[in-house]
Structure 1
Amino acid sequence: MHALVAILSVLFNNGLVIWGLGWDGWSGPTALAIYWGENAIGTIFIALRIWLHRGLTRKRGHYRNHLGLQVSGDGADKIKSITDRSFLAEYLTTSVVFTLAHGVFVLAIFALIFKAAPDDDTMRWALLAIGLSQLFGFLFDLVGLRSRSFAWLKLVAGRGLARVLVVQLAIIFGMALAALTGHNAAFGIPFAGLKLLVDLGAALATEKPPQSDEGPRWLMGIMKKCFPKVDFASDLRVERAKYRREMADDEVPQK
C-alpha cells in the first residue's frame, strides 16, 4: 500500500508540471522553480521521517553513514563531526547543500540564460498542491512507522536524493538547450519526462536484499569476455553477501 501511495504521489507531482508545460503554457523558469521547490519540500518531510523513525526504533542504521558523503577544505572536520554516525545529519547535509547550491544556479539561469522569471501565481498554487501531496504521503507513512524497516527508510531518502540529481541534470542541460534554441521552455518536456521515469523507478524499487548472490548470466558473460582477467562473478558474490550482512545489522536496535 505504501508503494501505491508513493507511485500516486509521483504521478500527481510530475503530471501537474507536464500538464502545465504541455497544455497550460508554463514557461521553463516556472517549471524549474517548481521542481526546485519540490526538492526543498521533500527534504523536510524525508528528514522528519528519519527523525521520527530513529526515535521510535533506535535501529543501528541510524547511527552510521550510508551516503558516502565526502567533505574537504576549510571546516571539513567540523562538518564530519556533525554528520559522522548520524544518518539524519548525513542526509540533511547532502540534500540541503545541493538544494541551496541548485537555488543559486537556478537564479543565475533565470537572469543570464532564460532572461525571464517564473510566474509567481503559478508557483504558489502548484507548490501548494505538491506540498499537500507530500504531506499526505508523509502522514500515510506515519501509520505503522515503528514497524517499518531501516532499509525502507534508506530507500525513501534515496528517492529524495535522486530528485536532487535530476534537478542538477536539468540545470546543466536546461542551460545548454535554452542557449542553443533561444526558447526558455525548450528543456521542459524532455526534462519532465526524464524526471517522471526516475521518480517512478525510485518508487518501484524495493528495500528487500538481493535474493541471490549470482548476477545475470548474460551480464557476467559479457563482463568475462570484456575483462577475462577479472572474476566479476566472485566479486559480486562477496559484495552482495557483505550488503546483506550490513542490512541485517542496520535493523538491530542500538543499545
Structure 2
Amino acid sequence: MSLRKMKAMVSKLFNINVSVGQCWNAQRFALCEIKGVLKDHYSKLWDYGAGIKRANPGSHVEVYMQPQNNSIVVFERFYVSFKGVVDGWLDGCRKVIRIDGCFLKGICKGELLSAVGRDGNNNIYPIAWAVVNVENKNTWKWFLDNLMEDIDEAGNGYNGGYERKMAEVEHRLCARHILANFHKNFKDECYIKPFWWAVKATIIPKFELAMEEIKSFDVGAYDYLIKRDPNCWSRAFFKVGMNKADIG
C-alpha cells in the first residue's frame, strides 16, 4: 500500500488527518515489529545460506564476515548461485554473460554484483549475485572466481585465477555506459548518431567512416572513444559465432 493510500484510508476510517511522514513512520514501525530491524537480518545470513543449500542441493553460497577488535563480526560479502539456475544456463542459454554492479541505497549500504545471461526468448536470465561491502578489484575477483567455479562445464574443478580463464573469452563493453560517460565531456547531440553507427557497423570500413565523422567534430572525442578499445564495443570487431562465454 502506498503512503498516500494509507493517509486516505486513515482519514476515512478514523476521521483523522495525518501527514505522509506520519504514515511512513507508522509503516516503518509496523514492519520492524513484524520482520525485525533490517540490520538484524545480517546476523541470520548463516541460517539463510544453510537453508538455500538444504532446499536447493548443490547450490553455492559463500558468507564472509570481518571480525572486529571488540569481538563483533561485521558483514563483508555474500554470494549465491542456485544449482538449478546454473544448470539451466549451461543447458539452455547462449554462452553470453553480462556482469554489473549497483549501489544499495537503503539503511544498509553496499554494492550488489550480478551475472546475467539471455535465455532462448532473449529475456534476462539471472545466474548469480552477491552483496559486498565495497566494489573494488578484490571483491570483483572474488565474485568472478565463484562464478567461474559454478559454470565450469568441463567439471575438472576450478582453482581460481579468473584472469587466465577470462583470456579465453571475448570481452565486450556496454555501449550505453560508454556513451553516458562520453556525454559528460562531449555534450553536443551531433555525436550521438555517428557513435551508434560505429557501434552497429558490421564491417570495419563502416566503423571507420562513422569515426571519421566524429573526428571531424572534435579530435578529442575521437581519441576518447578509440582509447575505450573499439574491439570491445563495435560489432565490426566482434568474432563470428558465440561458442565461448562473452563477458561484458
| TM-score, structure 2 as length reference | 0.23
Greater per-residue strand proportion: 2
Greater per-residue helix proportion: 1
Q: Which has the higher contact order (CA 8 A, sep 6+)?
A: 1
The structure having more radius of gyration, on CA atoms, is 2
